[in-house]
Structure 1
């Protein structure tokens, strides 16, 4: 019995004593993981592609900016990429207030305000109707909701040119052809399918329990929409505003056909400036007018680009 106890003590001492090799291993620091090289061939290829793509898209903008601040004497020299020797803003002033857009020489200023008058109500109406449609098709599911949604989606993919003549006849029959209300109605109609799809997919991604809880609390259709759904729709509303403003502002065909001569948008006025030739073609004025026409969409993207990405990431285009 005593030997067993002695052996147990010996074994305990042996296990308690640190092994020399183990002690040496503990004093050696663990090797650090190898750092991956920062410039791998794949990363170099990606950055190279991005730089080439940026130059490809920025080069025309650079040429437009440089040409718009050059006098015609320098433009005739053919130095397309050279910086201006004599900087001037006269082409910009002429494009804005005195360039000829056909028989009149009032510049592109009138087209700018016409575009504003078209874009603002068209954007508000199309987003409001699309939000209500998307909300109804996501939660309330009225009878025939699937059929209605299919019709709206078909309208989003039908070419505009196919429906121009029927719409001309319809608007002419109600005395809205070639008028400001007529072009606003046209842009609202063509914006509804995409806006409905956008809001329906966004609302469908929201938890259904929120809607059920609001129904249990006695909320009706409009109360739930205005007090619950609409305050949660800021990301998708930002995306919808960007899509509608840029789409309507850049439109040419619908504005040319339905707006009438008194309400021509800025894009149509730009086309008239470029195609109106009385003597020498003023390339600096044409470039200045082009940049002025694209200022609003560019500013919108630069200012709200972060919100656009956030809206997409939060489910605005899921589904």
Structure 2
């Protein structure tokens, strides 16, 4: 650059044909994936006359929440007509403790396996990984026997225990891989200062774990809430989760198939996970990439 020449500030990149094509492709993909959600929402706000006589993609003539009210409180799910409310409450009672306990145990396991290695720790971690990749159908029979011996069969507590046990391998994997990237000098310096095992964990390691903590909580909440296999196998008549209730509602025979009620019920079942991803989705992505580069 010659003397006296003043560099101009960087200009934004021009809106080229390639960028236009990229945005168009992304827009088409977004429309493709959001269309089912739009159909579900619009159908749930229509009455049956509009559903039968209108177009699938047509907007509802008005905001009609009758289908939502029926799906929540009076829709039949087999022989009972109490809607999804009891199933929703069962899922909340089961999901929150299961997610909290499995995440806490996974954090402690990951801390031990990453920062307090001992003879056989790698072998123990390898065995834990079997739980991540093992087909869930394999554990149905032995888990049923264990729950029977413990007196927890067909109960919310038994279903909660199943999700805690099956969630520990994944949570341990997440936390262990994240903690490996934390400087070992932090732990050694704290040990020289006389800090104990739990003091190091709660005062040093845990405050640095926010990204992976958010990832694990979202991952566990989504998996446990959306689970159907364990819910239908290990629950009883009064402890069925929301996924089983939704299945029963959709498959209950009646004289008239009420598609608007079915769509409203599906949205009610999906609302908690949608809310979690809308509120904390950006933190989920940040947490996934936080441990990718070790410094």
Return the alpha-carbon distance in structure 2 between the equivalents of residues 122 and 136 of structure 1: 21
C-alpha distance in 1 between matches for 2:13 and 2:123: 56
Secondary structure (helix, strand or coil) at the match of 2:57 reads coil
The match for 2:207 is: 231
- Further displaced range: 41-50 or 137-146: 41-50
Q: Select between 81-90 and 117-126 the one with higher mean Cα deviation.
A: 81-90
Aligned pairs (5 A) from 1:57-136? 57-136=33-112
Equivalent residues in 2 for 1:272-283, closer than 5 Å:
272-283=248-259
Quote the offset at 1:220 in angstroms. 2.0
Query: Quick one: structure 1 residues 150 and 297, their matched pair in 2 at CA, closer, same or farther if it must change by over 3 Å?
Result: same
Q: 1:295 matched to which residue of 2?
A: 271
Root-mean-square deviation (Å): 2.1
Question: Does residue 1:152 correspond to 2:135, yes or no?
Answer: no
The answer for the alignment partner of 1:258 in structure 2 is 234
Deviation at 1:181, TM superposition (A): 1.4
Counterpart-to-counterpart distance in 2, 1:302 and 1:153: 30
User: 1 CA distance for matches of 2:244 and 2:10?
Assistant: 61
What SS does structure 2 have at the residue aligned with 1:307?
Answer: helix
1:218 and 2:194 equivalent? yes
1:170-185 alignment, distance < 5 Å: 170-185=146-161
2:291 match: secondary structure: helix
Note the C-alpha offset of 1:34. 10
Equivalent in the alignment of 1:315:
291
Out of 14, 18, 32, the residue aligned to residue 56 of structure 1 is 32
Q: How far apart in 2 are the matches of 1:299 and 1:126?
A: 21
Larger Rg: 1
Segment of structure 1 superposing worse, 67-76 or 214-223: 214-223
Q: How far apart, CA to CA, are the structure 1 residues paired with 2:93 and 2:13?
A: 55
Say which is worse superposed, 144-153 or 300-309, in terms of deviation: 300-309
What secondary structure sits across from 2:261 in the alignment? helix
1:45 matched to 2:35: no
Residue in structure 1 matched with residue 138 of structure 2 by the alignment: 162
Distance 1:188 1:120 in 2: 11
User: 1:147: how far off?
Assistant: 0.8
For residue 246 of structure 1, the aligned residue among 211, 219, 222 is: 222
1:199 aligns with 2:175: yes
Residue 174 of structure 1: CA displacement?
A: 2.1
Give the direction of change, closer, same or farther, for the CA distance of 1:104–1:31 in structure 2 (3 Å limit). Answer: closer
Establish whether residue 268 from structure 1 lines up as the match of residue 241 from structure 2.
no
Cα distance change on mapping 1:196 and 1:105 into 2, 3 Å: same
Gap regions ≥5 residues in structure 1:
1-24
How far apart, in 2, do the equivalents of 1:154 and 1:236 lie? 21
Question: When the two structures are superposed, what TM-score results if normalisation uses the length of structure 2?
Answer: 0.93
Deviation digits for residues 76-134 of structure 1, max 9, x if unmatched?
A: 11411111124311000000000001110000011111010110110011001100100
Question: Taking structure 1 as the reference length, what is the TM-score of the superposition?
Answer: 0.87
| 1:54-83 per-position Cα deviation (integer Å, ceiling 9, x unaligned) | 001110111111100111011111411111
